[in-house]
Amino acid sequence: MLNVYIERQLIKSDMEIIDNNDVVFNYDLYNNMAITPTIRAIMKKIDGADYESGMDMRSRFGNITSMENLSTGCKTMINIVNHPEAVINCIECGDNVLHKIIQMTEGNILLTIIPSNEAIQTNIQLITNQGCCSVHSLPELIQLVV
Amino acid sequence: MPKIIQNNLSIKNKIAEFNVNVRGAITIIGGDSSTGKTLYFKEKQLYCQRHNDSTYIFINYSNMKDFLRIFDENVSNKIIFVDNADIIVPDDIDIYRKISNSPNQFVFFGRDITRYDKNYDNWAELQEISKGKYQLTYVLKKAGVVWQ
């Protein structure tokens, strides 16, 4: 289940909150991040990029460049996969990425911007002031938090 | 208060072309991920570095503290690009006031529009009109709702 926090103060003090997704991703990249099939799929889905070798990718423009040049939204989604114990701040993600993130089935996110409404199924545990509840769709999530 | 230093902030190179004409002293570029925002920021930064153009100041996650220095050091008459703005620009009324009183032009790349400007007329997106060719387009709809 994806754990979704909508307020920072609801996150336990012993949990790391990752706000600067570019820095964390770039650090991992320089420290032998494993480029798994999951990460390659995220790169392709979000940025249209294909992994090449080392820290390089082929961008959707066709040029070979560093994976540091992936979009922040793409890096955020990869951080959710690579840091399952931390809470990943998704504030910098566009709606296109948020729609994919909320369909993830593992991880923890801080979601303070509501994405546009679409008929998307979810497997979310929403953590609010009133406690936790399971949320099975984006329309249901929007109804609960707005 | 903020002022327009330049309307035409376009850039073009072998990788991509960005046609960016702004209409206000504060521009917020948001929208979907992977729409070329950071690429535009980096291309513009590289061009200015190469041509020693000191009209611009570029701030992103690698030099976050420089943002507040703009106000501490009374920087003026600059075009200030802020990538990762949602995590760099503090979410408080004092910062909004400082931006509103600052004699510079701002381009924020972010989603939380109310941090930078109360005027939704300054909200824009980069749209890819053909492969590698982007245009700044002002959006009419309200930006994403922040409920916290």
pLDDT tens sequence across A52-110:
999 999 999 899 999 999 999 999 999 999 999 999 999 999 999 999 999 999 999 99
Q: Which of B33, B132, B147 sits opposite A73 (nearest CB)?
A: B33
Q: Is A61's CB within 8 Å of B34's CB?
A: no
pLDDT for res B146 = 45
Q: Taking the CA of residue B92 as centre, how many other CA atoms within 13 Å lie in the half-sphere pointing to its CB?
A: 4
Spatial contact of B2 and B102, defined as CB atoms under 8 Å apart: yes
Q: How far apart are CA A100 and CA B113, in angstroms?
A: 23
The burial class, CB within 10 Å (0-12 / 13-18 / 19+), for B97 is exposed
Confidence of residue B142 (pLDDT cuts 50, 70, 90): very low
Q: How far apart are CA A118 and CA A105, in angstroms?
A: 18
The ipTM assigned to this model is 0.85
Confidence of residue B148 (pLDDT cuts 50, 70, 90): very low
Minimal C-alpha gap between A55 and chain B (Å)? 18
User: Tell me: the pLDDT tens digits for A117-126?
Assistant: 999 999 999 9
pLDDT over 70 for what percent of chain B? 94
Q: Which of B15, B84, B146 sits opposite A92 (nearest CB)?
A: B84
Q: Is B15's CB within 8 Å of A61's CB?
A: yes
Q: Is B111's CB within 8 Å of A97's CB?
A: no
Q: Which residues in B lie closer than 8 A to residue A89 (C-beta atoms)?
A: 87
Spatial contact of A57 and A35, defined as CB atoms under 8 Å apart: no
> Taking the model in full, what pTM does it have?
0.90
Average pLDDT, chain A: 95
Residue of B nearest to A97 (CA): B33
Q: Residue A134 pLDDT > 60, yes or no?
A: yes
User: Tell me: the pLDDT tens digits for B42-86?
Assistant: 999 999 999 999 999 999 999 999 999 999 999 999 999 999 999
Q: How many CB atoms lie within 10 A of CB A129?
A: 8
Spatial contact of B47 and B39, defined as CB atoms under 8 Å apart: no
Q: Which residues in B lie closer than 8 A to residue A45 (C-beta atoms)?
A: none
Q: Which of B138, B139, B147, B84 shows the shortest CA–CA distance to B116?
A: B84
pLDDT for res B140 = 64
pLDDT over 90 for what percent of chain B? 72
Q: Which residues in B lie closer than 8 A to residue A146 (C-beta atoms)?
A: 145, 147
Probe site for chain B from A7, A113, A142 (most B CB atoms < 10 A): A113
Q: How far apart are CA B37 and CA B66, in angstroms?
A: 20
Q: Is A92's CB within 8 Å of B144's CB?
A: no
Residue A33 phi, psi dihedral angles, 5° rounding: -60, 135
Q: Residue B111 pLDDT > 80, yes or no?
A: yes
Q: Is A19's CB within 8 Å of B31's CB?
A: no
Q: How far apart are CA A89 and CA B5, in angstroms?
A: 34
Q: Residue B22 pLDDT > 60, yes or no?
A: yes
Q: Residue B128 pLDDT > 50, yes or no?
A: yes
